Amino acid sequence: MRRRTFFRTAAGAAAAEWGGLSPALAADAEIEIAPGNPGPVISPNVYGHFIEHLGGVIYDGIWVGPNSKIPNVEGIRRQFVDDMKRIAAPNLRWPGGCFADGYHWRDGIGGSDRRPRTYNYWQRGRPAGTQTPETNQFGIHEFMRLCRLIGAQPYVAANVGSGSPKEFHDWVVYCNAPAGTVSLADERAGNGDNEPFGVRFWGVGNESWGCGGAMRPGEYATQYRKFVTQFPAYAPPFLVATGPRGHSADGDIGWTTGFFEEMRGFMPPDGFSIHFYTDFRRDRVKSGDFGAPEWYEVLLRGARLEKVIQNHWSEMGKFDPAHRTKLVVDEWGVWYPAGSEIAPAYILSQTITLRDALHTAMTFDIFNRHADKIAMANVAQTINCIHSLFLARGDQYARTPVFHVFDMYRAHMGGQFVPIEGRIPEVNISSLAGPARLAALSGSASIRGRRVTVTLTNPSLDTAVSARLRLTGGAGALEARGAVLTHSDMRATNTFANPDEVKPAVLPVRMRGDTIEFAVPKQAIIALELQLS
Ligand code: AHR
């Protein structure tokens, strides 16, 4: 969002009424958008997902097995499928994460009773007594079934750390070759899938600087070239190279420089991944129990992603001025210290509150504003892990506040980005790091056909913001509808016992010619849908 120079402090901002605006009140924020002059398309894939063989993500979260009493479709939790369809989940990244670089795909094919039990990278992270090995009941066929049920594109992370180019190429052939052409395709057909899977998105390793092989960027670049040079291109591929640990203190620019330097003269990847966790693992910020400074700390630290994207993009431009390679933020989310797991074996599951919903909205607005740079992004992780949309344990199930943000933002998918201009006040806040100033509203807008979507977040714990939005360039609205996600308690969450505590409500809006007036409550996210005349 671009801002003009008029700022007001929290003390000076007029308190807007929640339920409706008095026309006599001057608006706190004056916003203009020009739908006739849109920018780049927001790839639907930036609203993507990530699931890993970790804790309770796959087993129980998604895979309950065909004989389970929990309603399922051929072993896959039905409620999960229904909810993922509802948010039009565009893609799913699997099988890891760190798990991917220890995974051998052949372990997960063939009759379920013949699949081996193998070591899982994450089993040692579970408490004693729950350190079960990988059962391999969920393999590539089950993953593809899940993708088909949801209508999502598969994004498969291949094993570079402990695998080989041959193992990778065989997996690609197994997935993508037409039956009747090569033996691996016939094997796939024999295992129940005659039609090729048509996997386009391939990750060549994961966090190769860490759990994926502890490599230096130059070493990884050499591996990357070996893995992709003979890639069996049945379906036009989109190859994603391992990128930086974006949440490092220095943003890890050295990885990007080192990788692209070593790639000089060779075909660059289609995608370059960034992992960006708003990382409190070694911090005192807890997931469910916090005060105002921790609320703002999460939002401020999450907002650093914008700079990280810009910095890596500009570094990549030094080697690739035409920007053939796009960014893939294939893991993002707020990561809290252990302590709020839904059960001991469900490691990395955590309480998700309204604060995380605001973080999600602000992250999506960053992605939308950088639609020219970002080809895909995947929340880490969709269910029972870190920044989840869902929590599930046995027959218990809840949609977290984050789910509702995905739902509210879906209209941006595939739309064209439209810049927001205007006069937005700033508020004084106090985070753990000390006093700071935050825009009283931040957000993004897009247009698709005759429908404009505007999403805005008010991070303040104290002050509502009244806003007047004007469509410029002769555009007018026939209809305007609004939704709001908020709660009187900043720590509000959805639990198994109370799954609908945080959910969207209708936001009152008033249309006056080419202007739309509304109030954004404190600690809230709003989504407006405008039907243009
Ligand atoms: O999402 C959990 C873990 O975080 C992933 O396995 C790894 O890639 C990252 O460090």
CB of 96 within 6 A of ligand 1: the answer is yes
N-to-C CA span, the chain:
25
- Please tell me the distance between residue 207's alpha carbon and the centre of ligand 1 in angstroms: 8
What is the per-residue pLDDT for 513? Answer: 78
Query: Choosing from 32, 262, 297, 331, which is the catalytic residue?
Result: 331
Q: What is the dihedral of CA 239, 213, 309, 237, to 10 degrees?
A: 0
Look up 331 and say whether it is catalytic.
yes
**Rg (Cα) of the chain, in Å, rounded?**
23
Which protein residue has the closest C-alpha to ligand 1 atom 2?
A: 97
Which residue is associated with the tokens 């993004």?
Answer: 444
* Threshold 0.75, pTM exceeds: yes
C-beta 52 within 6 A of ligand 1: yes
Residue the block writes with tokens 């799913």: 92
Question: Tens digit of pLDDT for each residue in 101-142?
Answer: 999 999 999 999 999 999 999 999 999 999 999 999 999 999
- Two tokens, residue 493: 């969450």
Write down the pLDDT at residue 476: 84
Q: Which residues of 315-333 are buried (b: 16+ CB within 10 A; e: fewer)?
A: bbeeeeeeeebbbbbbbbb
* 179-232 pLDDT per residue, tens: 999 999 999 999 999 999 999 999 999 999 999 999 999 999 999 999 999 999
119 CA → ligand 1 middle, Å: 17
- Give the residue from 163, 164, 168, 142 showing the smallest Cα distance to 154: 142
Contacts of 446 (CB under 8 A, 6+ apart): 38, 42, 368, 411, 412, 415, 416, 417, 418, 452, 453
Q: For this structure, is 479 an active site residue?
A: no
* Ligand 1, atom 6, residue with closest C-alpha: 97
Taking CA 90 as the corner, what is the angle to CA 483 and CA 174, rounded to the nearest 5 degrees?
165
Ligand 1 in reach of 97 Cβ (< 6 A): yes
Atom of ligand 1 nearest to the CA of 121: 6
Q: At what angle do helices 165-176 and 183-190 cross, to 10 degrees?
A: 60
Dihedral in degrees, nearest 10, Cα atoms 109, 113, 117, 123: 90
pLDDT at 4: 34
Shortest-distance atom of ligand 1 to CA 380: 1
Q: What pLDDT score does 26 carry?
A: 59
Please tell me the distance from the alpha carbon of residue 457 to that of residue 526, in angstroms, as a whole number: 6
Distance 447 CA to ligand 1 centre (A): 34
Given the residues 207, 294, 341, 426, select the one marked as catalytic. 207
Q: How far is the CA of 385 from the centre of ligand 1 (A)?
A: 10
Contact 403, 409 (CB under 8 A): no
Rounded to 10 deg, the angle between the 305-319 and 253-262 helix axes is 20
CB atoms within 10 A of CB 226: 14
Per-residue pLDDT of the chain (533 residues; tens, 9 = 90+): 443 322 222 223 333 332 333 333 457 999 999 999 999 999 999 999 999 999 999 999 999 999 999 999 999 999 999 999 999 999 999 999 999 999 999 999 999 999 999 999 999 999 999 999 999 999 999 999 999 999 999 999 999 999 999 999 999 999 999 999 999 999 999 999 999 999 999 999 999 999 999 999 999 999 999 999 999 989 899 999 999 999 999 999 999 999 999 999 999 999 999 999 999 999 889 999 999 999 999 999 999 999 999 999 999 999 999 999 999 999 999 999 999 999 999 999 999 999 999 999 999 999 999 999 999 999 999 999 999 999 999 999 999 999 999 999 999 999 999 999 999 999 999 999 999 999 999 999 999 999 999 999 999 999 999 999 999 988 888 899 999 999 999 999 999 999 999 999 999 999 987 899 999 999 999 999 999 98
For the Cβ of 381 lying below 6 angstroms from any atom of ligand 1, the answer is yes
pLDDT tens digits, 369-409: 999 999 999 999 999 999 999 999 999 999 999 999 999 99
Ligand 1 in reach of 161 Cβ (< 6 A):
no
